[in-house]
Amino acid sequence: MSGSEIIDYAVLIPLMPFLAFPVILFLGRLFNGTPSWVRNAKEGGIIALTVMGASLVLTLLLIKEHMNKVGASDVFTWFESSWWNSETGAITTKVFGFGIYIDHLTVMLLFVAAFLCFLINIFSIGYMNTDPINDNRNHRFYAEFVLFCSGMLGMVLADSFLWLFIFWELMGLCSYLLIGFYYERPSAAYAAKKAFLTTRVGDVFLVIGLVMLWNLFEPYAGTQGALSYAVVFDPENIARVNSGDLQLALGMMFIGAVGKSAQFPLHVWLPDAMEGPTPVSALIHAATMVNAGLYIVARMFPFFMEAELGALSTLAIVIAVIGGITAVMAALIAFVQMDLKKVLAYSTMSQLAYIFTGLGSALWLANNGYDELAAFAMGASLFHLFNHAMAKGMLFMASGSVIHEMHHAHHEVAHHGHDDDHHDDHHDDHFDAQSMENMGGLASRMPITATAMFVGSMSIIGIPLIGGFWSKEGIIASAWKVALKEPIFLLPAMLILIGAGMTGFYMSRMWFMTFAGKPKTEVAEHVHEQTPWIPIPLVVLTFMTLSAIILAGMHAGKWLGDFESGHYTSFIDGIGYEMEHVFLNPDPFLLVLTYVAIGLSLVLGPSFAMALYGGSLDGDQKAKPWMQWAIDLSARVNKNSKFDNTEWANSSLATSLHKRLHFDDAYDAAMLKIVVGFAKLSAIFDSKFIDGVIKTIESTSQEASRRVRALTTGSARDYIMMTALGTLVIFILLWGVA
């Protein structure tokens, strides 16, 4: 297959998992419970893995082809429609098809989605197929899994906002199905409905925005679709449309992104989405769902570049402010969470908020003529999306590894060799394997998982030279560059700077509570890594996160931000430039800002976490050398600090944070008053009007039928009389007409 031919097969990247969906469902229903289906096919897991592997291979080939091209696009025409135009007297032809649009943004997010979906698939085989609760229903999980991946891959590759929306809604359906996978649990059913309804609020505004966008660009579409990127991103077309109307349309679309990426105030669904299996959490938080909102905002970049100078600045500021508010709010709530997965859920909200602030900065700079700064801010934002996806995918799978082994250990402790005298409250069926209050001291017992979570946490915190450090510093610097030009930007710039220290605290707290100190329960004492398949993606993603320094040296951020740039191969020169730019910046303000951010994230936040939650491992237990130093340091800080947390823990603020700042209460009230009220009105309308009309028609037809039936007496005399009357009537009518 030559390089020029690869893009012709790009449509197979989303198509293969889409077609695998009915295949897995059918085979699952046909062979469910049979030994070969369970052992060899892993209840559809091997089929899904094969398909996702093929999609990943095609993705890598497509990326290789694109590395030497800029803005390549190709359109697959499914069918053409022609009709007669009575006004012009000509035949009008419209092209309807699925197009493949390739640029730097497509390449990056396509790799993230395909790569992580493949690794999560591997993890799922170890996680889902070894838990008895999933027996005979894993085929449903894998079918919905590949459909979800197909939706994300198709959305990224689509060449129009119309197709983007179609795949966007496909992901929404799959998220509902997967979050509610354990639908027999009331909490899972509630979480699925909550996610579906909350994201639908955003989707309504997205549809409005797309309709407005179609109305703006339809006069200039020609034979192409009015929402095609080729039409809406054309600089001449952007210059023709009214900037105010364009800003309003993009603002409506942004609300859709807020819902999908769980930003304030449509964030309430994401923590509850943890009710789904852990592979679903990793899928939503790293590979698909939440990145879709970021993608649609990043796709707006050409509008801001080509629109009238300063005309779209207000929207850019709104995007950045929403990001700043969400970053701090989510970090605050993460402070008090005890559920391991929910800490990571709020971390996702906070880190996505960083990216929204970075995108807002990039869009403002682009719309105000600072093209070079805009490219830098855009590149930093997209690079952070990449780094966060790798780290967060690893963190969720690591949390799943902990939870999975905690479940196994609990079963072992509760049912093997323990009499009633040795039985404690944690051995019953109500034991919470996700609570960090039941963990502790796992660094020596789960070295691979602990290492993965250690590296992932450092990346999210922004420890120098690790993953997210390079991109997070770029976002903070870009926000402050805008703040120096636009004072209102001081708010999001200050919020994300404060958020750096907060991230250092809650991520360090999570790791120390889970892996440092002595085991808090007997269950934690019996934990050890034993499940195959699970460690594989953790090892791979650990190296991916650590290798971000290579991508930084290759100017990945610059490449992602400037769609007209080529690709960089000089690692030595690149890393030298990055090190000088970060640690020896000639701009005194940016130099001080960098070290303030490093101090907040590296020193202040982790120090408080060590003081509260640090401690030595149990007995002669030792972690791996690259982690043991952190545990020893935490033990010393914890021992020497006399920080009393009681007042804070019992404060009204802490109580409010435990209740998620009461947003969930407001959501429930809204659902009861609006949705339930609407449902009752719909029921009344259905019973009184719809059913009433149907029953009236039914009774009328029955009465007419009864009367007609009465005429069928069986008497020849009656039939002759009716025939004669009918003939007379016809004669009179004809005579009257004549």
Is the CB of residue 91 less than 8 Å from the CB of residue 82? yes
Using 70 as the pLDDT threshold, list the residues of the chain that sit under it. 1-4, 68-97, 416-429, 563-569, 671-673, 675-676, 679, 708-719, 736-738
Sign of CA dihedral 37, 40, 45, 47: negative
- Looking at residue 3, its pLDDT comes to 43
Helices 289-298 and 161-179 meet at what angle, rounded to 10?
A: 160
- Looking at residue 426, its pLDDT comes to 36
Distance CA 508, CA 637 (A): 13
What type of residue sits at position 588? P
Q: Which residues of 209-220 are buried (b: 16+ CB within 10 A; e: fewer)?
A: bbebbbebbeeb
- Looking at residue 2, its pLDDT comes to 41
Distance CA 274, CA 173 (A): 17
- Looking at residue 1, its pLDDT comes to 42
What residues does 339 pair with on adjacent strands? 435
- Looking at residue 173, its pLDDT comes to 92
Half-sphere exposure of 674 (CA within 13 A, CB side): 9
Q: pTM score, two decimals?
A: 0.88
- Looking at residue 428, its pLDDT comes to 46
- Looking at residue 668, its pLDDT comes to 74
Burial of 617 by CB count in 10 Å (0-12 exposed, 13-18 middle, 19+ buried)?
buried
DSSP state of 603: I
